[in-house]
Amino acid sequence: EEGGVAREAGFWRLSKLAVPASDDPGKDFLGVSPPLLQAIAKALKFPVASMLPEEAFSVIRKSFDARKILKEPQFVYTVDVDAKKLLDMEPRTWDFIARLEPRLGIVEYMSDERVAADLISMLNVHNKVSDDEHGIRDTVNNGSISPTRMKPRVAIVGSGPSGLFAALVLAELGAEVTLLERGQPVEQRGRDIGALAVRRILQSESNFCFGEGGAGTWSDGKLVTRIGKNTDGVQAVMKTFVHFGGPPNILIDGRPHLGTDKLVPLLRNFRHHLRELGVAIRFNTRVDDLIVEGGQVKGVVVSDSNLQPGSVDQKLSFDAVVLAVGHSARDTYSMLLRHNVDITPKNFSVGLRIEHPQELINNIQYSELAAEVHKGRGRIPVADYKIVKSIGEGDVKNDIEQVDQNRSCYSFCMCPGGQVVLTSTNPSELCVNGMSFSRRASKWANSALVVTVSSHDFEPFQSHGSLAGVEFQREYERRAAMMGGGNFVVPAQCVTDFISNKLSVTTLPPSSYRLGVRPSKLHELFPPYITEALQQSITMIDKEMPGFISSEALLHGVETRTSSPLQISRHRETYESTSLQGLYPIGEGAGYAGGIVSAAVDGMYCGFALAKQLSLFAGDI
Ligand code: FAD
């Protein structure tokens, strides 16, 4: 056809399709329900919804929206329309389709090429190199591997999301990869975390931060990211998670999460696949030093993590070393400084973790609909929240704040239906975070409330040079450990008392934290500019979410490891350190990611960039 539908046949994307929560089949239904068909018909201005062929539509995103400005809570969909399938409809409906035009913000035309490109990028990061049709090499410009060349040897240090994805890409592309992880595989790590919860034994190398899967394994497994959920990199990561056993709904859910129970088997499958590809995985193996010759990294010095550094060392040679150590590898940072690696302090955030009964948050966020969540029908997701408050100049009065002017206070890593956990890697330092299981069924909702801090806040720790931010964190973790009185007991305070600067004298409300809480003056733990920013923002949040300040809400100290306190400088294109050849700093610990997905994406792209430098494939990325 000329000019009509045939010329434009391809995929259309309809977004912001709202279905009232009371009409929707619920959060786990990802098909096209009759009410959704009606919303589609309305968006297309098509008169009879039931005449639209269901098979022409596929849901690609579904989110729950319970904002107070809405008349009632709703599910919001993004749907792709296969125009070719619409063409099979009765000829009379053709007139209508021919008139389809992108409508402001609702309909976005997607060319076949765009769809193909999306698919290719999503496809088979996990495919074997031998699979020429869809393998990862196709995603990188039809590269080809020279079978005669000796394989380059690459060490990946750290098996968090960034390290795992770098290992996957490099192994797929033919490098000889060794993955070095100071912690234990997930099976043993689970037992170590159990011993921590029950017997208060903290294994310094196998805990909530260290071990297979990295810091996010015993976590809520939120897969939301600020780097754009529809980008090729994010989609490739999400597809890979599904390939290794993640539930397919994470590809569609607007706020996807996995939960620890789903993450653990996923990581086991990931490990088996890496081993099938020939990756040598060494757990319980800590990298203590780099072997540097003539300004070039030639290998690493490793030791058994259970032994003191230097007691039984082993030197391993590599052509390149990818450093994916996360933000808690403080010993590794110090080692890098000894090699004069370029490191600069970076802003991050610190604060406290607040916990409410989940029912209270459901009531605040959902009003009448909360009753349905409480009945446990599972149709509506348990309520969460995300808050950002800006504390402006003059609002917080003290010397340091006058220099800083603006600070943000925001909720971070909110875990609905979760629990507060200990993320210390050393018994004399205490910090917390949150985790949950996939069903998010616990009776608590916790979230960090944190305030941004930047280099001038680290001035008292200037003698530590580039590690001033690390020392800043350490200082408040030590104070928290002392306030708690030891044995991993967490200092806690009712939010009502925190905002009025007084010790909680009545019995504290219950907490999900397993190792005990102690009434403490948390308002005296941080410097006033942090405490006052937290107090002000909590008051502001309560205006938006009445009931947030409640006698049932308990603050836990401290939340310090929100992101890396430093950045290891690297070249933009090659990912190589600006100060040491052969070193590739990636992920959260290097200051290039903040969360599971962004760390995985960073690792994946570093894998491509390094493969290119190692001549594993020809052409550009
Ligand atoms: P990491 O995951 O930290 O991995 C680094 C790895 O390197 C570790 O396994 C460590 O043992 C290893 N290592 C360190 N030093 C050495 C060395 N010298 N030698 C050998 N191995 C070494 N993010 C989200 O997006 N969603 C969430 O819901 C979420 N919840 C979280 C809950 C908790 C309790 C915690 C602690 C974090 C959570 N995060 C969450 C943050 C997320 O885990 C991190 O952003 C992410 O794991 C960073 O990935 P990474 O690969 O950069 O580093």
Indicate which residue's Cα is closest to atom 43 of ligand 1.
216
Ligand 1 atom nearest the C-alpha of 162 is: 51
Taking the C-alpha atoms of residue 70 and residue 530, their distance in angstroms, rounded to an integer, is: 34
Asked, for residue 571, whether it belongs to a domain, the answer is yes
Asked, for residue 285, whether it belongs to a domain, the answer is yes
- Are 149 and 173 part of one and the same domain? yes
Beta strands in 240-319 (DSSP E): 280-282, 285-293, 296-304, 313-317
Ligand 1 pocket, 161 CB below 6 A?
yes
Indicate which residue's Cα is closest to atom 11 of ligand 1.
210
Taking the C-alpha atoms of residue 332 and residue 590, their distance in angstroms, rounded to an integer, is: 11
Taking the C-alpha atoms of residue 481 and residue 474, their distance in angstroms, rounded to an integer, is: 10
pLDDT of residue 399: 38
| Average pLDDT of the chain to the nearest whole number | 86
181 C-alpha to center of ligand 1: Å? Answer: 12
397 C-alpha to center of ligand 1: Å? Answer: 36
Q: Any residues with CB less than 8 A from the CB of 364 and at least 6 apart, and which?
A: 383, 545, 546, 547, 548
Asked, for residue 621, whether it belongs to a domain, the answer is no
139 SS3 class: helix
Asked, for residue 230, whether it belongs to a domain, the answer is yes
Ligand 1 pocket, 286 CB below 6 A?
yes
Lowest mean pLDDT across 152-166, 217-231, 436-450, 527-541: 217-231
- Are 103 and 168 part of one and the same domain? no
389 SS3 class: strand
Instruction: Over range 164-176, report the average pLDDT.
Output: 95
- Are 312 and 408 part of one and the same domain? no
124 C-alpha to center of ligand 1: Å? Answer: 24
Ligand 1 atom nearest the C-alpha of 421 is: 34
Ligand 1 pocket, 350 CB below 6 A?
no
Indicate which residue's Cα is closest to atom 9 of ligand 1.
214
Lowest mean pLDDT across 107-121, 351-365, 444-458, 567-581: 107-121
Taking the C-alpha atoms of residue 169 and residue 126, their distance in angstroms, rounded to an integer, is: 8
| Host domain of residue 78 | 5-110
- Are 168 and 289 part of one and the same domain? yes
214 C-alpha to center of ligand 1: Å? Answer: 4
High-pLDDT (> 90) share of the chain, %: 70
Residue 603 token pair: 């690792």
Ligand 1 pocket, 219 CB below 6 A?
yes
Instruction: Over range 144-167, report the average pLDDT.
Output: 83
Taking the C-alpha atoms of residue 154 and residue 115, their distance in angstroms, rounded to an integer, is: 34
pLDDT of residue 504: 84
Residue 127 token pair: 């495919």
Indicate which residue's Cα is closest to atom 32 of ligand 1.
219
The domain boundary, picked from 110, 139, 154, lies at 110
276 C-alpha to center of ligand 1: Å? Answer: 24
- Are 333 and 357 part of one and the same domain? no
399 C-alpha to center of ligand 1: Å? Answer: 35
Ligand 1 pocket, 484 CB below 6 A?
no
Ligand 1 pocket, 154 CB below 6 A?
no
Beta carbons within 10 angstroms of residue 568's beta carbon: 27
- Mutation probe of ligand 1 site: the residue of 182, 208, 432 with most atoms within 8 A of C-beta: 182
- Are 339 and 352 part of one and the same domain? no
Ligand 1 pocket, 480 CB below 6 A?
no
Concatenating the DSSP letter of every residue in 60-112 gives EEEEEE--TTSSS-EEEEEEEEEHHHHHTS-GGGHHHHHT----TTTEEEE-H
Query: Residue 257 belongs to a domain with what CATH number?
Result: 3.50.50.60
- Mutation probe of ligand 1 site: the residue of 168, 241, 327, 413 with most atoms within 8 A of C-beta: 413
Indicate which residue's Cα is closest to atom 38 of ligand 1.
216
160 C-alpha to center of ligand 1: Å? Answer: 5
- Are 254 and 130 part of one and the same domain? yes
Local confidence band at 98 (pLDDT 50, 70, 90 cut-offs): low
The domain boundary, picked from 524, 541, 559, lies at 559
Ligand 1 atom nearest the C-alpha of 163 is: 51
- Mutation probe of ligand 1 site: the residue of 178, 188, 210 with most atoms within 8 A of C-beta: 210
Ligand 1 pocket, 431 CB below 6 A?
no
- Are 411 and 463 part of one and the same domain? yes
Backbone angles phi, psi at 472, to 5 degrees: -60, -50
Residue 494 token pair: 């009712």
Closest CA to 217 of 160, 255, 275, 166: 160
Local confidence band at 50 (pLDDT 50, 70, 90 cut-offs): confident
pLDDT of residue 143: 38
The tens digit of pLDDT for each residue in 51-85 reads: 888 888 999 899 999 888 888 889 999 998 887 77
ipTM field: 0.99
Local confidence band at 95 (pLDDT 50, 70, 90 cut-offs): low
Backbone angles phi, psi at 281, to 5 degrees: -110, 125
pLDDT of residue 261: 94
Q: Any residues with CB less than 8 A from the CB of 2 and at least 6 apart, and which?
A: none
The domain boundary, picked from 559, 575, 597, lies at 559
pLDDT at 368 over 50: yes
Local confidence band at 375 (pLDDT 50, 70, 90 cut-offs): confident
Amino acid letter, 175: A
Bridge-based pairing of strands 74-82 and 107-110 is: unpaired
- Mutation probe of ligand 1 site: the residue of 318, 325, 336, 602 with most atoms within 8 A of C-beta: 325
Indicate which residue's Cα is closest to atom 12 of ligand 1.
158
pTM above 0.90, yes or no: no
54 DSSP assignment:
G
Amino acid letter, 290: L
388 SS3 class: strand
Ligand 1 pocket, 208 CB below 6 A?
yes
Ligand 1 atom nearest the C-alpha of 587 is: 52
- Are 28 and 163 part of one and the same domain? no
**Number of structural domains found in the chain:** 3
The tens digit of pLDDT for each residue in 603-616 reads: 999 999 999 999 88
Beta carbons within 10 angstroms of residue 206's beta carbon: 28
- Are 340 and 351 part of one and the same domain? no
- Are 381 and 494 part of one and the same domain? yes
Asked, for residue 619, whether it belongs to a domain, the answer is no
Bridge-based pairing of strands 388-391 and 566-568 is: unpaired
- Are 433 and 553 part of one and the same domain? yes
Asked, for residue 388, whether it belongs to a domain, the answer is yes
Ligand 1 pocket, 591 CB below 6 A?
no
Q: In terms of pLDDT, which residue wins out, 149 or 372?
A: 372
Asked, for residue 361, whether it belongs to a domain, the answer is yes
Local confidence band at 391 (pLDDT 50, 70, 90 cut-offs): confident
Taking the C-alpha atoms of residue 446 and residue 434, their distance in angstroms, rounded to an integer, is: 7
Burial of 559 from C-beta contacts in 10 A (0-12 / 13-18 / 19+): buried
Asked, for residue 512, whether it belongs to a domain, the answer is yes
Indicate which residue's Cα is closest to atom 36 of ligand 1.
215
Ligand 1 pocket, 181 CB below 6 A?
yes
* H or E element in which residue 344 lies: strand 343-345
